[in-house]
């Protein structure tokens, strides 16, 4: 039996041959990759342990044909940092941070894009595309350069300058669209039907999305092949969140971790763009779109495709959906930097902000193993801290006198 | 006449056509007319309660109808209605 078998609709179960498509023709539900892991189960943990120090150590659990050459920049296998000082502030004795800011283009998107570009090149595509809030564009531009493929990346025209520079340096075709992310996405879905391109988050999404699983695979391996009690995850479209449920399920089914209990999966949104939180609060899976207005632009998605599943999975696993204000986002970024020496972008501030909010509200006793996924680097959104960065900044003359007078230690 | 853009996955219902013109006063009427011309659309687009399915996004020109008046939105001669499947992000 082939390891990578088919695509299956998450809603109605209709199966499709492996192909670049993401939507069920029957019900418009999203398509997921179906595997048969029978032949990879034996000796799997040893094969992973002897694999490369990147996310490709989990190749057996990813939808890439055997033998296809990888398009990789050694993404993944990022540090799982034990956060003792931050934990002490929050009364959490087993708090960990998955520092995915350490990826080649400084966000978790390198994982999904490495899979997408590898898949696309293996299937004869010559051009990559994506609709992006910035991080995906960075990664698509870099990995397309690495693979020698043409790239067209579409972003809202108001995206952070750092993300524009960090994309255009790889010389893709950068298309700034006068509209928000949801507008960009709609345009790209229509383009994807006309053009023979591999749009990461559209027609090759079923394959692309699978790359996110490696965050949770690594977390378990780095905890000594244990699942944590709870994971806090930022929510844009919810695509990533759904994969962590899948990854945890696969780890249990494959016997890579003991027990049968899924970690609680908790979803974090910015109140300025909180369609999933709104649905959770209202007790429904029907997610109504909103117009985003938040500094957390990388997750400012007003119409989240996987929103209903986020609500369902949070409930199923004993997690929840929480949201934080702009001020709480910035405070959390500063708290993290001050206590752990890690600088995360605004989406990471959302994740941390929710962690802080829940800890202070008494959600945990203190012994639980809790992991927060920090999915992007702070330099990408440095402007968000203009005027509010912490610490002490003074200016002096280059003399001892001036130092003694002004700094006064 | 208002024009409805048909997404790839549903063009088997419209005989391969990427656009269909319909005579209607509002969006709900437009979907009814579309279903009369090409049976099958209504059940694909709307749920049992007659509302757009969760994974179906309908746009009137550039606007997601759920941000406005939904299927009650009036449609004009020159309007373009787009049906777009939900997509992932970031």
pLDDT at A1: 67
Handedness of CA A46, A52, A53, A54 (dihedral sign): negative
- Residues of A within 8 A of B82 (CB-CB) are 186, 190
Distance from CA of A193 to the nearest CA of B (A): 6
Inter-chain residue contact B86 with A28, CB threshold 8 Å: yes
Which residues 211-250 of A are in CB contact (within 8 Å) with B?
Answer: 236-237, 239-240
Phi-psi region at A233: left, alpha or beta (left = phi > 0; alpha = psi -120 to 50):
beta
> What's the CA gap between A87 and A212, in Å, rounded?
26
User: Mean pLDDT across the stretch A361-389?
Assistant: 93
Encoded tokens for A338:
């001050």
Residues 26-85 of B with CB under 8 A from A: 44, 53-57, 59, 62, 64, 66-67, 82, 84-85
Rounded Cα distance, B31 and B56, in Å: 13
Do A167 and A236 touch, CB atoms closer than 8 A? no
Res A117 pLDDT > 90: yes
Going from N- to C-terminal start, the domains of chain B cover: 3-85
Which residue, among B38, B64, B63, has the nearest Cα to B52 in the 3D structure?
A: B64
pLDDT tens column, A216-233: 999 999 999 999 999 999
B29 to A49, B7, B18: CA distances (angstroms):
60, 19, 19
- A25 pLDDT band, cuts 50/70/90, is confident
Q: What pLDDT is attached to residue A344?
A: 98
- Structural domains in chain A, CATH included, are 1-36 (2.20.28), 80-106+212-385 (3.40.50.1100), 109-206 (3.40.50.1100)
- Among candidates B40, B32, B33, which has minimal Cα distance to B14? B40
Nearest Cα neighbor of A92 from A318, A360, A375 is: A360
Query: Residue A3: is its pLDDT beyond 70?
Result: yes
Which CATH superfamily includes the segment(s) B3-85? Beta-grasp domain (3.10.20.30)
Interface contact A193-B8, CB threshold 8 A: yes
Measured CA to CA, the distance from residue B90 to residue B73 in angstroms comes to 30
Hey, how many other C-beta atoms are within 10 angstroms of the C-beta on A199? Answer: 30
Among candidates A23, A24, A185 on the partner chain, residue whose Cβ is nearest the Cβ of B89:
A185
* pLDDT for residue A146 is more than 80: yes
Q: CB A299 to CB B56 under 8 A? A: no
Q: How big is chain B by its Cα radius of gyration, in Å?
A: 12
ipTM: 0.87
Which band of pLDDT confidence, cut at 50, 70 and 90, is reported for residue A315?
very high
Considering CB atoms only, which of A11, A237, A291 is closest to B67? A291
CB B89 within 8 A of CB A236: yes
Buried b (16+ CB within 10 A) or exposed e, A97-134: bbbbbbbbbbbbbbbbbbbbbbbbbbeebebbbbbbbb
State the DSSP code for A54: S
């Amino acid at each position: 039996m082939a390891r990578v078998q088919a695509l299956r609709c998450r809603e109605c179960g209709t199966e499709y041959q492996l192909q670049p498509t993401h939507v069920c023709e029957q019900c418009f539900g999203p398509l997921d990759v179906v595997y048969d892991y029978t032949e990879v189960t034996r000796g799997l943990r040893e094969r992973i342990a002897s694999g490369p120090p990147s996310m490709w150590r989990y190749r057996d659990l990813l939808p890439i044909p055997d033998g296809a050459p990888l398009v990789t920049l050694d993404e993944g296998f990022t540090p799982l940092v034990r956060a003792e000082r931050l934990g002490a502030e929050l009364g959490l004795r087993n708090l960990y941070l998955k520092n995915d800011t350490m990826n080649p283009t400084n966000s978790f998107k390198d994982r999904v894009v490495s899979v997408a570009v590898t898949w696309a090149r293996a299937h004869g595509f010559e051009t990559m595309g994506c609709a992006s809030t910035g991080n995906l564009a960075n990664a698509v531009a870099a990995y397309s350069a690495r693979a020698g493929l043409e790239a067209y990346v579409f972003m809202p025209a108001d995206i952070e300058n750092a993300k524009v520079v960090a994309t255009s340096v790889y010389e893709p075709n950068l298309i700034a669209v006068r509209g928000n992310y949801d507008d960009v996405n709609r345009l790209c879905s229509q383009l994807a039907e006309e053009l023979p391109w591999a749009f990461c988050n559209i027609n090759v999404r079923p394959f692309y999305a699978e790359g996110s699983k490696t965050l949770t695979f690594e977390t378990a391996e780095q905890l000594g092949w244990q699942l944590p009690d709870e994971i806090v995850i930022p929510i844009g479209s919810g695509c990533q969140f759904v994969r962590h449920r899948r990854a945890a399920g696969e780890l249990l089914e494959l016997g890579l971790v003991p027990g049968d209990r899924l970690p609680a999966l908790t979803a974090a949104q910015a109140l300025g763009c909180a369609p999933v939180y709104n649905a959770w609060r209202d007790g429904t899976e029907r997610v109504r779109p909103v117009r985003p207005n938040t500094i957390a632009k990388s997750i400012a998605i007003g119409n989240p495709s996987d929103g209903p599943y986020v609500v369902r999975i949070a409930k199923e696993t004993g997690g929840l959906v929480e949201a934080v204000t702009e001020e709480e986002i910035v405070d959390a970024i500063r708290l993290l930097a001050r206590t752990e020496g890690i600088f995360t972008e605004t989406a990471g501030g959302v994740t941390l902000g929710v962690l802080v909010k829940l800890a202070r509200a008494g959600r945990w006793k203190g012994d639980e193993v809790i992991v927060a996924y920090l999915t992007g680097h702070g330099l990408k959104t440095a402007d968000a801290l203009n005027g509010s960065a912490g610490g002490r900044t003074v200016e002096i003359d280059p003399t001892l006198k001036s130092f003694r007078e002004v700094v006064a230690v | 006449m208002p024009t409805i853009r048909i997404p790839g996955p549903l063009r088997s219902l419209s005989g391969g056509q990427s656009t269909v013109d319909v005579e209607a006063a509002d969006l709900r009427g437009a979907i009814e007319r579309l279903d009369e011309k090409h049976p099958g659309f209504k059940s694909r687009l709307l749920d049992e309660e007659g509302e757009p399915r969760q994974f179906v996004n309908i746009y009137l020109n550039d606007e997601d109808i759920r941000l406005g008046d939904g299927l009650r939105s009036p449609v004009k001669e020159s309007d373009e209605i787009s049906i777009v499947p939900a997509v992932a992000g970031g």
